[in-house]
Structure 1
Amino acid sequence: MMTIYDLKPEINIKGVSNGFSGFVAIAEQLSNAIRAQNKEDIVLAIECYPGVNYTEIKKDLFPLLSPNMTIFTDDYAYTVEEVQEKIKDVITEDRVFGVLSQYTIDQFFHENSIEKAKKEIKDSSGLTIVYGMGTTVISVPDIIVYADLPRWEIRCRYRDENLKNWKTDNADEDELRKYKRGYFFEWGMADRLKKKIYNQVDYLLDTNKKEQPAMIDGKSYRKALSQVAQVPFRLVPFFDASVWGGQWMKEKFNLDPEVENYGWAFDGVPEENSIILNFKGTKIEIPAINAVFAYPDELLGSKVRWRFGTSFPIRFDYLDTMGGRNLSLQVHPLVEYAQDTFGIHYTQDESYYILEATDNSTIYLGVKNNTDKDELVADLRKATSGDFEFPDEKYINVFPVKKHDHYSIPAGTIHCGGPDTIVLEISATPNNFTFKLWDWGRTGLDGIPRPVHIDHGEPNILVERDTDFVLEQLVSSADSKFENLSNQEGIQTEKTGLHELEFIETHRHWFSESVVIKTHESVNMLNLVEGTSVLVESLNGEFDALPINYGETFIVPESVKKYRITNAGDTNKKTAVIQAFVRNL
């Protein structure tokens, strides 16, 4: 039976302008802003996040503004060859992994090119439009429009529209390499500029939907992000197929029945997901991480911000193998390896919360007692030849799982999700650092063999994470006896994880009518894991109630402090939410 699941959640913004929809309305507003400058020569900058469709903006917007000159920043930036030479140490030859760069956009313009652009603008009369990445490097704009785009949309354009990376000719390159270049180079650089000019932006332009742009003025945009940081909200989820993907989400969440499977669902990753801001009917879709950039203390909490900066540290996602197959056998990097090798600040600690299971559901977790690491790695390497099947039953523990079990997976622990399971993955945010050790000989959906990373994996495999360790420290069984952490009548609050080496703590709250929850001085991410629907409510009326359906993930900013979750379904049945927050060490 289909579950109610909101695929396009919105955040209603109060006390702001209406916004502008369509190129004609947008051009009219920009024309009014140009006239309001009350001078003859105007520079309009359209600063673009990587992946924005320049062709559409030029074709549909520029003619309505009638500029005397247009300047494309790419024409003044380093050449393709110069950019590649400069960043080759961070992009690397690896198909998947690079090194997180610290570049800023101004480092990719020669000084004489900047002076040339500024002179051309100065010598021009009337309206000059400067567009692309780095508009404020080569001009001093009178009006700044920021054209933004969430990372998931960029990834879809890599795949579906042969989108090139910035300053490349790689339209036909495979999606993994394009994503690597974005993740390790472009996006961080663009985010640094985004944060730098945040208070200068006069308009925010949403070009997510082809030929359907929307725009809001900068003041209303900044007011909206201030509101986001003070109310519970949901991200816009996205779903994708996988070689091991299942059928459960397709049926339960009313997804496209023509898609072969859905293996992934990301509904709690602000770096990748978007949020939809509703400005009195005008809907603006932006990267969710923008709210973290703008109000990190209010959203994350000051203690979390001081540990993680403007990185959102918790992520929730789904792994669906119901009717599918095993995930890859994998391990995540130890923190020092992640820092030294990839330049990331913290590593991909994980956990698997079992949302749905059958009698066939399993998890591979840790190695068997007395496993010899050299023998294990030798067999993994032998299996990559294609003439040998890795004997997983010889080395790796396999445990049956059931609904509401919770398994901690600190970095260094070999693991793999089995078939016929819906996993709610509750983890640290870095999600690009999975070292596949064995992938059952499969190719990807693109027909290319899926990459295996034994060279990276070997130094990170901890064979002391064996059967005894797993059973003693990593398993939280649904039928265990839990201490009740709650003093509220009729409430059972249970600590289900994560392992003490991981910075995330999770509490599961069981209730029939309602429960009051504290944020624990941290941003909270939650999911309704039992029951049909709830309302997330303010204790003092400071925000409107947020409806949540079974399986939906939502965020509660630290600034809320306390909130109530009320059962909106059958109060004769127990309801449960899983709450994750950063443990205050």
Structure 2
Amino acid sequence: MASHPSALRRTAAYDPRPTIPLPDGHDVRRGADAWARIAAEAGDGGSIAVDTYPGVDLPALRAEIERHLPDATIFDIEELAALSPERIDALIDGNLTDDRVFGVMSHHTLRDFYDPAELDRAAADIEAASGRRIVIGWGATLAPVPFDVVVLADLARWEIQRRQRAGAPNWRARNGDEDAIRKVKRGFFVEWRVADRHKRSLFERLDFVLDTNDSVTEARLLTGDGFRAALELAVTRPFRVVPFFDPGVWGGQWMKENLGISGEDNLAWGFDCVPEENSLLIASGEDTVEIPAIDLVFRHPRELLGEKTFARFGAEFPIRFDMLDTVGGGNLSLQVHPLTDYIQNTFGMHYTQDESYYLLDASDDAVVYLGVKTDVDRDAMLADLHAAATGSTGFPAETYVNTFPARKHDHFLIPAGTVHCSGADSMVLEISATPYIFTFKMHDWGRVGLDGRPRPIHLEHAAANIQWDRDTEWTTHNLVDRVEPIGEGHGWVEERTGLHEFEFIDVRRHWFTDVVPHDTNGTVNVLNLVEGDEAIVESPVGAFEPWVVHYAETFIVPAAVGPYTIRPHGESVGRRLATVKAFVAGTGTTPDSTATHDTTETE
């Protein structure tokens, strides 16, 4: 492997639990204090709705309420009024399909999963009860009751997946023992979409937000005003989401050794900026409340994304950064992503999974598989892939697919439809569009998953999307080593390393030893410090407090921030650093508009 002269400092500096401050005047409650605060707000005879995200441990939540508020009458809206599991299965059958991985995006609302007459009967029972009444469950606020207090018991998607791997079922499903991949499919294509539509409708009326990510018994509480104030503050300054890490059959050791992440034999993925699944940590002194990062996207899409990006994508964060570690591991699966027309017509997604590989590190013999070879025999390639999928033979990948040497700081572009994968012994920062689930595996080198099951292969989908004209010459010219000088100033140089004409994400790299001027130019910026131990992000007008970022940390600069600067900090002063910055192409300004910053950026 390439040497890491500052590895020890990097290990100490990388922050796996970044926080966002809770504004003054708000605090965090927990345990008995949290439930006492909710009860006091409702009064002795008040009605309380605790509307939960699907995946919250409802029996544990009920037990906790009974422990702290023993005089309350508790109504489980799911037991009282939700459709039976069989009726729900029938309702969403067309969305789930028979495929193990892929379904069709749901446009259901939560009311579709409830019986209106049963909701009315439940409301009558709730209003007839005396004393404090508490309605719990996903859809508690659907009961036509004038609630005195509304609580959202929230949960991040990554935590839901962790629980499902441990045996938790989907919502009102009898599938605890089912394949975890199928559980994720049900969440991705149905439950999470429905839940997010419902959750967004509650944000204005929330009195409290309950963090149930760690444990219901130690659930932390924010007031609705505190929740809204923290999100309002977040879009005025740079911030990081809480990363999570996952092992895999091809996983490596680089993140463990360089970022200090432990607890697994290997780490394949480091999800450092996937707001659909990551969390935000809201901090008040030593106390924190964990909320899904997607809440910020829903609450402040214009300030976070920018008007043009919001107009194009809606309240959806379109850029994803994650890390793929194969150092001491193996090749990723050989794969291809769907074209836009295919993903729209087949799965109901409105944009596709374009991506790129930026090499944080690589061994001397590391390669990237990219594009098919010139004059490839497509029928022979597909036949050999089918034979390999049956286990009767291996697949001679190098016969059909180009391999390019991969070196530290190389950037490979991968528009949808391009055959690709990262080889072993490299550390990739994957910069991509958000629809992360749509990977059509073509060959997986004869492996099974960590669960012992064969990893899913989707040759039919892959064959429908491979762009056979992306051959050796085309790939070399269009997708490899596309570095283009853009501008320079005192102590810094800017290069364009990314964006093929088929992709919407533009990537700029800045090498710097001094202050670099940046501007969001009205669209969200996502950055990673790819060289150097430490840098500091500052506002030239003092709009936010100076903020320190460390090596390999991904951070988000909301569109509303406008101008900001980055310079070396701490022991990195006097050294040459680098950031990569991604943004949505076509949402920024023309080159001349940044002339006052002595740069020709086209953001």
TM-score grouping bracket, smaller chain normalisation: over 0.9
User: Is the counterpart of residue 535 in structure 1 residue 536 in structure 2?
Assistant: yes
User: Is the counterpart of residue 12 in structure 1 residue 21 in structure 2?
Assistant: yes
- Contact kept, 8 Å, 2:491 with 2:515, in 1: the verdict is no
Cα deviation code 1:183-234 (max 9, x no counterpart)? 0000110100111111011000001112321101101110111111111000
For structure 2, which runs of at least 5 residues remain unmatched after alignment? 1-6, 588-603
| Equivalent residue in structure 2 for 1:182, among 187, 190, 206 | 187
- Provide the residue aligned with 1:82 in structure 2: 87
- Provide the residue aligned with 2:47 in structure 1: 43
- Contact kept, 8 Å, 2:66 with 2:72, in 1: the verdict is no
- Contact kept, 8 Å, 2:492 with 2:514, in 1: the verdict is no
User: Is the counterpart of residue 147 in structure 1 residue 156 in structure 2?
Assistant: no
User: Is the counterpart of residue 54 in structure 1 residue 58 in structure 2?
Assistant: yes
User: Is the counterpart of residue 205 in structure 1 residue 217 in structure 2?
Assistant: no
- Secondary structure, in 3 states, of the residue corresponding to 1:427? strand
Write out aligned runs for 1:268-279 (5 A). Answer: 268-279=273-284
- Provide the residue aligned with 1:420 in structure 2: 425
Write out aligned runs for 1:482-501 (5 A). Answer: 482-486=484-488, 488-501=489-502
- Provide the residue aligned with 1:377 in structure 2: 382
Q: Which letter does structure 2 place at the counterpart of 1:59?
A: A
- Provide the residue aligned with 2:265 in structure 1: 260
- Secondary structure, in 3 states, of the residue corresponding to 2:251? coil
| Equivalent residue in structure 2 for 1:29, among 37, 57, 66 | 37
Which whole-Å CA distance do the structure 2 matches of 1:31 and 1:449 have between them? 50
Write out aligned runs for 1:113-262 (5 A). Answer: 113-140=118-145, 141-160=147-166, 162-210=167-215, 211-256=217-262, 258-262=263-267
Q: Which letter does structure 1 place at the counterpart of 2:38?
A: L
- Contact kept, 8 Å, 2:238 with 2:558, in 1: the verdict is yes
Cα deviation code 1:435-473 (max 9, x no counterpart)? 000001110000000010001111000111111111101
- Contact kept, 8 Å, 2:568 with 2:575, in 1: the verdict is no
User: Is the counterpart of residue 552 in structure 1 residue 553 in structure 2?
Assistant: yes
Cα deviation code 1:338-358 (max 9, x no counterpart)? 001111110000100011011
Displacement of 1:259 in angstroms is: 1.6
Which whole-Å CA distance do the structure 2 matches of 1:573 and 1:42 have between them? 62
Q: Which letter does structure 2 place at the counterpart of 1:151?
A: R
Which whole-Å CA distance do the structure 2 matches of 1:471 and 1:230 have between them? 41
- Contact kept, 8 Å, 2:535 with 2:572, in 1: the verdict is no
Count of residue pairs brought into register by the alignment? 574
Cα deviation code 1:58-91 (max 9, x no counterpart)? 2223332234421112111000000000000001
Which whole-Å CA distance do the structure 2 matches of 1:16 and 1:342 have between them? 46
Which whole-Å CA distance do the structure 2 matches of 1:281 and 1:390 have between them? 54
Write out aligned runs for 1:384-423 (5 A). Answer: 384-423=389-428
Which whole-Å CA distance do the structure 2 matches of 1:134 and 1:519 have between them? 38
For structure 1, which runs of at least 5 residues remain unmatched after alignment? none
- Provide the residue aligned with 2:360 in structure 1: 355
Q: Which letter does structure 2 place at the counterpart of 1:53?
A: D
User: Is the counterpart of residue 66 in structure 1 residue 67 in structure 2?
Assistant: no
Which whole-Å CA distance do the structure 1 matches of 2:346 and 2:473 have between them? 31
Which whole-Å CA distance do the structure 1 matches of 2:229 and 2:269 have between them? 33
- Contact kept, 8 Å, 2:19 with 2:240, in 1: the verdict is yes
TM value normalised by structure 1: 0.96
Alpha-carbon RMSD across the aligned residues, in angstroms, is 1.3
- Provide the residue aligned with 1:456 in structure 2: 461
Displacement of 1:280 in angstroms is: 4.2
- Contact kept, 8 Å, 2:442 with 2:457, in 1: the verdict is yes
How high is the sequence identity, in percent, across the aligned residues? 45
Q: Which letter does structure 1 place at the counterpart of 2:291?
A: I
Which whole-Å CA distance do the structure 2 matches of 1:171 and 1:315 have between them? 30
Which whole-Å CA distance do the structure 1 matches of 2:308 and 2:66 have between them? 46
- Provide the residue aligned with 2:601 in structure 1: none
Which whole-Å CA distance do the structure 1 matches of 2:120 and 2:172 have between them? 20
Task: Judge which range, 8-17 or 148-157, deviates more.
Answer: 8-17
Task: Judge which range, 554-563 or 370-379, deviates more.
Answer: 370-379
Which whole-Å CA distance do the structure 1 matches of 2:42 and 2:22 have between them? 27
Q: Which letter does structure 2 place at the counterpart of 1:570?
A: S
Displacement of 1:563 in angstroms is: 0.4
- Contact kept, 8 Å, 1:68 with 1:125, in 2: the verdict is no
Q: Which letter does structure 2 place at the counterpart of 1:104?
A: T
Q: Which letter does structure 1 place at the counterpart of 2:427?
A: I
- Contact kept, 8 Å, 1:520 with 1:581, in 2: the verdict is no
- Provide the residue aligned with 1:584 in structure 2: 586
Which whole-Å CA distance do the structure 2 matches of 1:213 and 1:110 have between them? 31
Displacement of 1:372 in angstroms is: 2.6
